[in-house]
A and B are shown apart, each in its own frame.
Chain A
Amino acid sequence: QKEVEQNSGPLSVPEGAIASLNCTYSDRVSQSFFWYRQYSGKSPELIMSIYSNGDKEDGRFTAQLNKASQYVSLLIRDSQPSDSATYLCAVTLFNNNDMRFGAGTRLTVKP
């Protein structure tokens, strides 16, 4: 059973549009949720973390968490070509801090 699932994409949006990335997780005791961005050949770079239900905004990024439905999403407003990357959803379980990653969604923002 997959622990963290994401649509692999590719997701293509025009510059200036909103990109919406989704993630579901299987373990109900999951505690902390993260979105990382990964450019090809590079290491994951933290975009957002979210721990409680609701929305969390940071600049052009908004993370949304719904623990009852076991999903977490990331919205990117005013998408830029530089946002083109693979976005990784990651989850840690209660009392653990080893992260489990989804396979990532590849986002392309077209100028």
Chain B
Amino acid sequence: EPEVTQTPSHQVTQMGQEVILRCVPISNHLYFYWYRQILGQKVEFLVSFYNNEISEKSEIFDDQFSVERPDGSNFTLKIRSTKLEDSAMYFCASMVGRSQETQYFGPGTRLLVL
């Protein structure tokens, strides 16, 4: 069964460093998402991406964040200058299209900023 994959599973970085989190969505899906979940808190929407552009973004998704689909398979989230409060689990999700609105989540990347 196709699934969303994410790499790395864990990332430790120093405050101020840039990180890139990678996702490979399910191959025939057209909509892509990033969510984050700070430990013990709810899952929070960051950004949605369709047709090579951002379609929605939350107030969390500020200028420190960017997303890219550099090729036909990868979908990346870049955090330019990490802060301690960026420590969280980051989930990528994908959806085939508006006719079927189920979003499938990847296993997540646990980011720890020291």
Contacts and interface: CB of A to CB of B under 8 A. Distances in A.
Interface in A32-84: 32, 34, 36, 42-46, 49
A103 interface: yes
A36 B42 CA distance: 12
B108 A100 contact: no
Contacts of B41: 103
B15 to A, nearest CB: 24
A1 interface: no
A102 B41 CA distance: 10
A42 B44 contact: no
A43 B58 contact: no
A45 B42 contact: no
A43 B105 contact: yes
Contact of B45 (A42, A46, A100, A102): A100
Contacts of B108: 42-43
Interface stretch (A12-20, A21-29, A90-98): A90-98
The main secondary structure of chain A at its interface with chain B is strand
Contacts of A109: none
Interface residues of B, number: 22
B45, B48, B58 interface centre (most CB from chain A within 10 Å): B45
B91 A32 contact: no
Interface string B31-54: 101010000011111001000000
Interface residues of A, number: 21
B91 A101 contact: no
Contact of A97 (B58, B91, B101, B105): B101
B88 to A, nearest CB: 13
A104 B101 contact: no
Given A43-B91, A43-B108, A44-B91, A99 B42 contact: no
A43 B107 contact: yes
Given A44-B43, A104-B42, A99 B91 contact: no
Interface of B: 31, 33, 35, 41-45, 48, 56, 58, 91, 95, 98, 101-108
Give the 7 A-B CB pairs with smallest separation, nearest first: A43-B105, A101-B43, A103-B42, A98-B45, A98-B56, A43-B108, A98-B48
